[in-house]
Structure formats: C-alpha cells, structure tokens
Amino acid sequence: MTPDMVGHPLQRVLLYMETIHCRFQKPVSDRSAIEWTNATWNPVTGCTKVSEGCRHCYAERFAERFRGVPGHPFEQGFDLRLWPERLELPLKWVDPRLVFVNSMSDLFHEKVPLEFIKGVFRTMRLARQHTFQVLTKRSQRLAEVAGELDWPYNVWMGVSIEASRVAYRADHLRQVPAAIRFLSCEPLLGSLQQLDLSRIDWVIVGGESGPGARPMKEEWATEIRDRCDLLGIPYFFKQWGGPIKSRGGRILAGRTHDEMPNRTSQLVRMTA
C-alpha cells in the first residue's frame, strides 16, 4: 500500500508518518512489545502459512501494509527475503539482552538456505552476552538440520504448538541439543491436555489477538499451567488476546504468570 492508495486524508498522513518511522528503524530492535523477550533481530523477513496458527499472522498483517512502498523494509510485503547485511548486527550490542530471532519470519523455512542458518548460529555463538530465542513451526526441518548446526549455550530453541494436531512438533524439538527447549502455545486454539512435556524447559501460552481473533478458553490455559506446576516447568502466560489485545490483559486465575527458564541450568546442560 502506498500513501496515494489510501482515500481519506487522515489515513494518508498516518500511513506516511508510519512509513517514514519504519524506514529509519533499525532491523535489530532494542525494544520489543513481546512480553517474553527484550529485543528482536530479523536476518530473514517474510514467510508462508503452514498450519492453523498462521491464519491471522500478525507479521503478515503488518508487512503487507507496506507492499509497494519504495525504500521501505517491507516494500516486498511478506515475501520471504534474506538480509545478509543484518547477520552481524547483534555483535554491536554491548548490554546483555534476550533476543527473539526472526519475529517476522521462520528461520527454518524451506527457502532459507542451510548456509544462511549456519551464519545466524555463528553470530549467536559470537554474541555470548545475549540469549537468543529461536521459534519455528517447521519442526521437521529443524530436526533434519540440527546435527549440522553448532549449538551454543546461549540459544533457546522453541516450536509453536497451537493445537493437538501439531503436537508432534515437540517430538522433533526433543531431538535438538539446545540448552533450553521451549513451547509457544500461541495462539492456543484447543486443549493440549495430552501434550507430552518431557524434556521441555519452558512453556508460553497465549490467546490470538487482532482482527478475526479466535477465543481461547480459560481451561485450555489452566490445564497446561497445572501440568507445568506438577512437572516443575516454568510457565509464562502472555495474553488473553482478542480483537483488541490490551483489553484482554494478562491475568489468569487472579494473577500474572511470568516464569522464565533457569539460565544456570542451561550452562550445566551444555557443559555436562
């Protein structure tokens, strides 16, 4: 969308301002609105849908707003794009932080070459001051290439599981020698009461947000929480979601749930 494609004068002004703001944004963001991380790093942008959790993708919705805007980072919309010039950007950050890798893509997308993935992992090993959180829905490719990757202690690897039909992704994750293995059950679209949580170090749960958001039942969130409590797995409740995310809040059963993995345990696992 370009400014001249929008009819109302106020819409044209707002889109122009957002375009200018985004044009000068750094591709590594030292501020993130995502509750379980501090920053984002996008050496790849764009993706394609693989399961029901992708139906209302926030990243696609954002990127497609700028398709065709000359010079914008998302001039190509949500088409997959590699950004080699961004590979070493985390090395320039001095202060330690949690970094979500590819918040606007999937590192294990079939069109991302293995050598490029290796380049991302090289940077993560060199940037020892940071902890990197990698999340994928393409768990089969993750399992297939995991043995060819160098897994440093500061990389957490996760898979998205939004419904029981994709619970197999956790089986693929268990094959990966990551210091921390985590599940993102967001958007949670059904009960995961039978999900195998063995060898899982962290679970994130959240409802879908934005236009067309599908509601999450409280029992789906609490049954995972109760199983995590029983097994001693840190549990993070991200959001209720809904068409307007802020109205839903983050309170589950009377309180917030902000548990994170023990970073000491990841060091022990990698040095054992």
Domains along the sequence of the chain with CATH: 29-44+82-271 (3.80.30)
For the chain, the residue count is 272
Q: What was the pLDDT predicted at 11?
A: 46
Give the C-alpha separation, 40 to 48, whole Å: 20
Report the pLDDT value the prediction gives residue 146, as an integer from 0 to 100: 98
Long-range Cβ contact pairs of 48-51 (< 8 A, separation 24 or more): 48/80, 48/109, 50/137, 50/138, 51/137, 51/162, 51/163, 51/165, 51/166
Q: What is the pLDDT of residue 28?
A: 52
Please tell me the predicted confidence (pLDDT) of residue 270.
Answer: 58
Nearest to 205 by CA among 180, 178, 223: 223
In whole angstroms, give the CA distance from residue 131 to residue 263: 9
pTM of the model: 0.87
State the pLDDT at residue 32: 77
Half-sphere exposure of 73 (CA within 13 A, CB side): 23
Q: Chunked in runs of 10, what are the mean pLDDT values of the chain (272 residues)?
A: 45 43 47 87 98 96 97 97 97 96 98 98 98 98 98 98 98 98 98 97 97 96 98 98 91 97 66 55
